């Protein structure tokens, strides 16, 4: 009996694990307003917390940018020191401006691309 209860509880926990509320997430990311240059890139923490030393072009200050931002974490390999990151408030796309090219990434959640 105890094994059955443990199995049921484990199934419930695993079925809820990783569920994302896409509408909340897209609303959160839509509100972001960023324009910065990466001065230093630290490794991801816990697989999704991005850590940069940045030059914030919105206030002209050097700052640390540390946030659990899964959208940026998905594209962390694309970020390099010297890149300019631009995310315009109200948009669901961010861009990485590199020397000679611009990479744009729309927000995606559960198979839906938000534009």
Is 15 part of any domain? no
How many domains is the chain partitioned into structurally?
1
Is 69 part of any domain? yes
Q: What is the tens place of the pLDDT at every residue in 22-62?
A: 999 899 999 999 999 999 999 888 878 899 999 999 999 99
Q: What is the tens place of the pLDDT at every residue in 87-104?
A: 999 999 999 999 999 999
Is 4 part of any domain? no
Domain that holds residue 102: 21-114
Give the single-character DSSP code of 9.
Answer: H
What is the model's pLDDT at position 115? 81
Please name which of 113, 111, 109, 114 lies closest in space to residue 20, comparing C-alpha atoms: 109
The span from the CA of 93 to the CA of 14, in Å, is 31
What is the model's pLDDT at position 6? 47
């Amino acid at each position: 009996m105890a094994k059955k209860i443990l199995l049921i509880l484990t199934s419930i926990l695993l079925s809820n694990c990783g569920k994302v509320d896409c509408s909340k997430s897209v609303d959160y990311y839509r509100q972001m307003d960023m324009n910065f240059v990466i001065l230093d890139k630290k490794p991801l923490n816990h697989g999704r917390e991005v850590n940069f030393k940045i030059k914030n072009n919105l206030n002209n200050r050097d700052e640390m940018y540390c946030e659990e931002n899964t959208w940026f974490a998905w594209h962390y390999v694309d970020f390099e020191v010297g890149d300019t990151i631009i995310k315009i408030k109200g948009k669901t796309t961010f861009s990485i401006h590199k020397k000679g090219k611009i990479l744009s990434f729309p927000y995606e959640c559960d198979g839906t691309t938000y534009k």
